[in-house]
Structure 1
């Protein structure tokens, strides 16, 4: 028989009620018996306490007075113990166990009172003490019958307790799974929203780049980046560390360089290609390289032989040739053309728009990465909760077969 989670709870509760009807009826009778025993005991001990109080007022001799005081005190204490034995009306396993425990505690404490009181009475109130003990025995026997019932037929009530626990766990897991699925759905919507946003922004960039002037500006920038990489990797392939070394020597005053050359050298170390194209610093590169060669030749800058050879070869390729001039002219022409294009108001505006859109795309991608992490976490947690729910459903199927003798298949949640 296939059941949904929603159908299973009412169905299994009804089946258990049918199976446990007789057991619960017996349990109810035992609870009523316990209530009667407690009620009768409370009434008896209160009456006995009143009798002791009356006798204390009328007895003249010391022994009788003392006996009346003892019986009155014992009865008062017993009545108090009986009142503490609360008997719940429910007939489930937990309530019956509470009744049994309360009866056990009451009978044990009253028995101690009876024994201590009987030792002190020395022949007084013999019949009352027999009734004292008889009332106690009824409480004890009621507790014993209840304990025997719980160990025997009443143990079936634990089935309801077990199934109730499983149903509560299923309900909790299902609720948590619904929350996780809702969270997962929300994260998926966020991803879809970000994907749409990124697509729209990319389309906007494409529209802007369709402008011929802007497209030329971007091509120039790509060419400048290419030239910058080549300048670092090829033109200054073996010279970047020597340039830093020369800057350190000049800074410490160990090698003479003019202030303008020192500033230009510092700029080259930080941003080689940009400084190379700059009109304020670019003219000093050849002189700086010549100073480097002199420093190496004079021994003020030393490297390992192989490194020294490479540096000198590269210096010879650059000093006294047109290589640097050609590269510089090419780069400056590109920069000049870029400036000319960006003087056009429309091109400048589109360039700024594109930069703003690209910034938004970067923000969107960053947010998308964060959302994907949330998606990963939400998916993992959803799968874990669903796994726990499936295990609970299998446990419910097993217990249903064991307790009710029916085969059921419980439908989980489709993720």
Structure 2
């Protein structure tokens, strides 16, 4: 990596996107972006293209260029009244983008004024200024703020878990959500809440769970908050890509609940997979074993996916690039034998992919130009995927990922 020049095209995004992604999937909510039109349109486009188009909840405060001199509080006030009256959300999140942050609008004061006119709506104000943090900081900080709405309960649900770190905008998220539920149900474990692919009421009742399962390490801050405030323990698991990660996911979850793993269910699924590929595994090993690959994705997913490619499909993983780091990224790097880049510049990532002469790239739609330039296939497994449409419930999790 060339450290002598400034980063010109980072693979990670700004804090605002982390806020949007944390709130995407939270039903009966609305996100009001208080910033310039470009901030809103970019977030709206990404949400609409990567998550359910039946539930797009990103709206705009109406801030204009002339407001940079006189402030945008009046526009924000009208926007919040309109959102509350038209969309009728239970939660309105006001995301302060860079322009409004620099202007110093009294957003909290505007919200307090709105509360005098609006009933049965909760509000949350989030610093989403690009200059104040990264995408990862926006995601983690938003989850922790949502924890303040949770309510203490003494009627815990036995063998019920919350899933933290699952995002409703990842490739195959619908199928993966179904698989997560199926995997745990086979072990006699139910899901209380998937944070934040849930309703606002389900979020409030999250402390009823016996355990928080943090997949891939994203959302540890919220898990720590819930452990401290509501006495809900947590366990960090790999993202369940393939057999090894799935078994570890189930073993850690069951152990944390004090349950025995039902290995018979796992072995039965393994047998079905072995029968399906028994006549082709030599061909697959011969093909995949000769391919050098590079990956780029969030820390929560990319290391687990690399393990799946290397240990189960015999790919030669040469490079892992972390798009967004989290609290356990350092621990994950210590287990890896290949080159790792953490939140690099996209140009440096391209240079490294070219230098290593890899044969296949596992990344997002944003790396399409790199793959085309180097004339190598691109497999889209990480956020965002905006140039493909999935019309089935195919999933990337579990022992028999499609």
Q: Could you state the TM-score of these two structures normalised by the residue count of structure 1?
A: 0.18
Higher relative contact order (CA 8 A, sep 6+): 1
More helix by share: 1
Q: Could you state the TM-score of these two structures normalised by the residue count of structure 2?
A: 0.18
More strand by share: 2
